[in-house]
Amino acid sequence: MDKTELKRRAQKFAVDTIKFTGTLPNNRPLNVLVNQVLRSSTSVGANYRAACKGKSTADFINKIVICEEEAMSQFIGSI
């Protein structure tokens, strides 16, 4: 998978998540979880774009780790 493909997949993930959460019922307890899912799913792409602009290999790796953490928090939060 190349850089462009990962960027496209991160963007699709965010868009799909936004569409999915739009189908959920609107109630206060669920909104708390939905907001967290939306924040973490959209931050994956934002953090990946930041990683691609990293100043060094170490900076890139650090930012990719942040992407992974956000993706995992989104996954764990949805259980």
Sequential DSSP letters for the chain? --HHHHHHHHHHHHHHHHHHHHTS---HHHHHHHHHHHHHHHHHHHHHHHHHT-SSHHHHHHHHHHHHHHHHHHHHHT-
pLDDT tens string, the chain, 79 residues long: the values are: 777 888 898 889 899 999 999 999 999 988 988 988 888 888 888 888 888 888 999 998 988 888 888 777 766 655 5
> Is 22 part of any domain?
no
> Is 18 part of any domain?
no
pTM score of the predicted model? 0.73
> Is 16 part of any domain?
no
> Is 54 part of any domain?
yes
> Is 46 part of any domain?
yes
- Our count of domains for the chain comes to 1
> Is 24 part of any domain?
no
> Is 39 part of any domain?
yes
